[in-house]
Amino acid sequence: MKIHGLQKMTLLDFPGKVACTVFLGGCDFRCPFCHNFELVDGSAPPVMDSEELLSFLKKRQGLLDGVAITGGEPCLHRDLPELLKEIRALGFEVKLDTNGYHPEMLKKLMDEKLIDYAAMDIKNAPDKYAMTCGLQEMDLAPVYRSIELLKNSGIPFEFRTTVVDELHETEDFKAIGEMIRGTENYYLQCFTDRDSVPFGNLHAPSAEKMKACCEIVSAYVMHAEIRGMD
């Protein structure tokens, strides 16, 4: 497997763990606010292969607790289970970031006990989901299936939404709340612009709007919190 990026240490990407972050290429969404679009469109060249990654990890045994696998969309890769088996064999815990559109792979990873923590993006309210993903239309059944898989998985997980002022209205968070009703942890992440974001003229919501969105969704989940806003 080709590895398109490696952050050698992070205290943020894997809750409660000292980890590294591995970036895989490819995605079936085209979110206009994506921070890693060079991984989506294939313009980011690979930096190593899986053997080189495993060699790096062997040198970090005892120094790192875990490995966060992100993208792009990791679940597009059929050989992902094999990579995770090798990572876990070295004694590392694994966190998976996913867009939730590949429930069959997600279930396989959970059934084989290859992930210790999962973070799934909830892009928007159902009627705005395709637009927020940069698509003309989409079937939301895989998204709902992944939500239910995680809620019944027994592993720690979170749902999260990157809030973009032009894409999200406060009222959308009632529908988002209904989608994930009863879940333990939900995070709202404030959009920040970067050079790698594919579309311009997108902005962060105000602190007041973020707080209002968080308050609305708090009625549906056990814990809701804002990330990425001072």
State the pLDDT at residue 22: 97
Dihedral angle sign, alpha carbons of residues 4, 9, 197, 147 = positive
Task: Supply φ then ψ for residue 66, to 5 degrees.
Answer: -155, 175
- Among candidate residues 9, 5, 71, the one with its CA nearest the CA of residue 37: 71
What's the confidence (pLDDT) of residue 195?
A: 72
Look at the domain 2-227 and name its fold: TIM Barrel (3.20.20)
Per the confidence metrics, is the pTM higher than 0.85?
yes
Q: What local confidence, expressed as pLDDT, does residue 196 receive?
A: 64
SS (H, E, C) 97-165: EECCCCHHHHHHHHHCCCCCEEEEECCCCHHHHHHHCCCCCCCCHHHHHHHHHHHCCCCCEEEEEEECC
CA 36 to chain centre: 12
Query: 230 is written with which tokens?
Result: 């001072």
Tens-of-pLDDT digits for all 230 residues of the chain?
899 999 999 999 999 999 999 999 999 999 999 888 888 877 788 999 999 999 999 999 999 999 999 999 999 999 999 999 999 999 999 999 999 999 999 999 999 999 999 999 999 999 999 999 999 999 999 999 999 999 999 999 999 999 999 999 999 999 999 999 999 999 999 998 877 676 668 999 999 999 999 999 999 999 999 997 66
The residues spanned by each domain of the chain are 2-227
> Tens digit of pLDDT for each residue in 1-39?
899 999 999 999 999 999 999 999 999 999 999 888 888
* Alpha-carbon distances, residue 196 vs 41, 120, 160 (angstroms): 11, 21, 21
Instruction: Give residue 198's pLDDT.
Output: 67
Distances (CA, A) of 13 to 69, 94, 178, 203: 9, 11, 26, 23
Q: Identify the pLDDT of residue 190.
A: 94
